[in-house]
Structure formats: structure tokens, C-alpha cells
Amino acid sequence: MTATVKELAALCGAELIGGDPDARIRGAANVDEADAGQLTFIAGARHAAKLDSTRATAVIVPRALADRAGNGSAALLAVDDPEIAFIVCLRRLHPETRPTGAISDRADIAASASVGAESSVGAFATIGERAMVGERCVLHAGCRVGNDASIGDDCVLHPNVVLYDGVVLGDRVVVHAGAVIGSDGFGYKFRGGAHVKFPQVGSVAIGSDVEIGANTCIDRAALGVTRVGDGTKIDNQVHIAHNVRVGAHALLLGQVGIGGSTVIGDYAILASQSGVSDHVTVGAQAMVLAQAGVTKDVAPKDQVMGFPAANRREALHEMAALRRVAEHAKALDELVKLLPTLRDAAPRDD
């Protein structure tokens, strides 16, 4: 979809400065790659010099850079928050695919299931007994919605997503390709020389406005419910074990692993490849840095790193101390090597 520069300025509440207000914008790109007919943005003053070299037709800038108009041919759209304004314009230039209401004749929908108005279901998708799909949803090809599962309004399930029986999704949930929600938790008891499976008879409840990345797995509870709170965003290849409770608006980055019955607080951030042991609490607004291994509770707003994970500031002090010890050890080794020479050079009392 295209729009004129002045249409985009009005859309994001920008002050339009210079350039051709009637020029048509057909897409967007990074400031270094943008060409004629494209929109770009500059987030702060430290990148202001790029205004002189960009080939973009229009650039969203912070209001502090409004006086740079005239240095180039691009129109400037001056706003308080360039990143949010750029997002608003991107949604206009690249609108999301809306559900068509079409249901493929190659989909398999149980007679007892219900599919809401304007929802579309792709080829080879299957919807089980008594499952409920809300309004304006999109189920792409190959999705499986299990028996008694429930999907809210305006949800999108990308190809080959699997919702096991009884899983519940809130409104406006996006699940990317290959994700599995509701598979059995990993629960066994060792008896008589064998691992005896503890039946996983709980479920999973996902809040509203959650996005779940490709190939992520969220296990059903052994008993009760595994929960993910409203607004939480989960990256690709994340594993959430049984009975975990993830709060609202948390961020779980790629390859995070969370052990069973752990609690992740609201607005917590778990960076890539970090792991959290079972039966641990990570407090609200806490941050677990990349590749950290959390084995005990993390206080709210704390930042931890390393293995076993420790307070970031304390861990950095320990690392600096270890470096100093290593430096001193090297000097000590040099002194030890000199001892024979020093003994030979020392005066003797004969």
C-alpha cells in the first residue's frame, strides 16, 4: 500500500518540513539503505549527519532535528517519538493480512466445534471436538486446535501451530509457525529402576496480546494450569515447562529455558540462552542477562548474570578481582623463577 508524505505526517501527528508533501511513499527502509519513494527514520541526534546522505523521500526525525530541513531533498516529519511514529507509518504501508472468512474445503472441523464470524481456516487445519475459535481469527495451513481448546478474538496461528486439548488463548494472540502449546510436561518419578511418568492432566492458559515465537514449546501443567500473562512476548525456540507462571508484559528472548513450577514476575526480562531452574521466583522487572543460569530466587528489579547467577554488579566486581589475582599470580611466578638467581647473588658468611 502507498501513501503521500502529507498523509503519513497527518497519520503520526508530525510537523512536515520541506520536501514534496505530495510525493508518494511505497515502502520503508533503514536510513542507509532507503531510496527514492521510501520512508525512513532517525531516532536521535547522533545520527543527524545521515540526513545529508540519505536518498529517502521522507525521514521521520525528533523535533530537535527540525532545523536540519533544507540540508537535503528529503521531507522531514518531526515528532516527539520517531520510533513509534515510524511503527504507525509502517502499519499503514504494510498492513497486516486481514481474515477473509474463508474456510478451506480441505480443513477438518469437528461438528461440535465453533468458528467465529469472519475467521478463516487454511488447508489441512484441524479443529477438534467442542473447540471454540473466536471472531476474525486466522488459522493458517496445517494448524491443529485440540478438543475443548478455546481461542479468543483476532488471533493468528501461523502454519503448523499445535494447540493440544484444552488450551486457552486470549484475544489478539499471535503464535508463529511450529509452536506447540500444551504438550506434556516432563514429569517422572524414579521407582524400581525405571522412570514412571506422572500424568500431565493440567492445561495452558495464554493471556491477551501475547506473541509466541516459532518452534517455542509451552508445556501443560501436571495439575492445574501453566500460565502466560497479558502482553508478554516470547521469542523463537523458548521452552516453558509445566506449571510455570509467567507474568504480564514479560520478555523471553530466544532459547530461554524455564524449569517447572517457576514464577516469572511482571515486566521481567530473560535474555537469550538464559535458564531458570525449577521452583524459582524471578521478581517483577528483574533482568536475567544472556546465558545466565538462575538457581535461586531473583529479587524484583535485580539484574543477574553468570552461573550460578548473581547480582550483576557483584559479579562484575568478582570478575575484576579474579583478573587482578591472575595478574598477581603471573608476577609471583616470575619472582619464583628468579629465586635461584637471587640465592646465588646473595652474600655468604664464610
Q: Look up residue 264 and give its three cell numbers.
A: 516469572
Is residue 220 helix, strand or coil? coil
What type of residue sits at position 256? V
**Considering 242, 249, 279, 317, which one is annotated as catalytic?**
242
What's the pLDDT at 350? 57
Q: Look up residue 291 and give its three cell numbers.
A: 546465558
What's the pLDDT at 44? 87
What's the pLDDT at 66? 81
pLDDT in tens, the chain (350 residues): 899 999 999 999 999 999 999 999 999 999 999 999 999 999 988 888 888 889 999 999 999 888 876 556 899 999 999 999 999 999 999 998 788 889 999 999 999 999 999 999 999 999 999 999 999 999 999 999 999 999 999 999 999 999 999 999 999 999 999 999 999 999 999 999 999 999 999 999 999 999 999 999 999 999 999 999 999 999 999 999 999 999 999 999 999 999 999 999 999 999 999 999 999 999 999 999 999 999 999 999 999 999 888 887 787 777 777 777 777 777 778 778 877 876 777 676 65
| Interacting residues of 336 by C-beta distance below 8 A, sequence separation 6+ | none
Strand partners, 181: 163, 218
Give the angle subtended at the CA of 129 by the CAs of 127 and 132, to the nearest 5°.
65
What's the pLDDT at 70? 55
Model pTM score: 0.86
Q: Look up residue 246 and give its three cell numbers.
A: 509467567
What's the pLDDT at 69? 60
d(CA 3, CA 18): 17
Helix or strand holding residue 136 (H, E): none
Whether residue 242 lies in the annotated active site = yes
CB contact at 8 A, 254 and 235? yes
d(CA 330, CA 138): 64
d(CA 332, CA 179): 56
Q: Look up residue 17 and give its three cell numbers.
A: 518540513
Which one, of 285, 317, 321, lies nearest residue 303 by Cα?
Answer: 285
| Interacting residues of 333 by C-beta distance below 8 A, sequence separation 6+ | none
Give the angle subtended at the CA of 207 by the CAs of 204 and 210, to the nearest 5°.
105
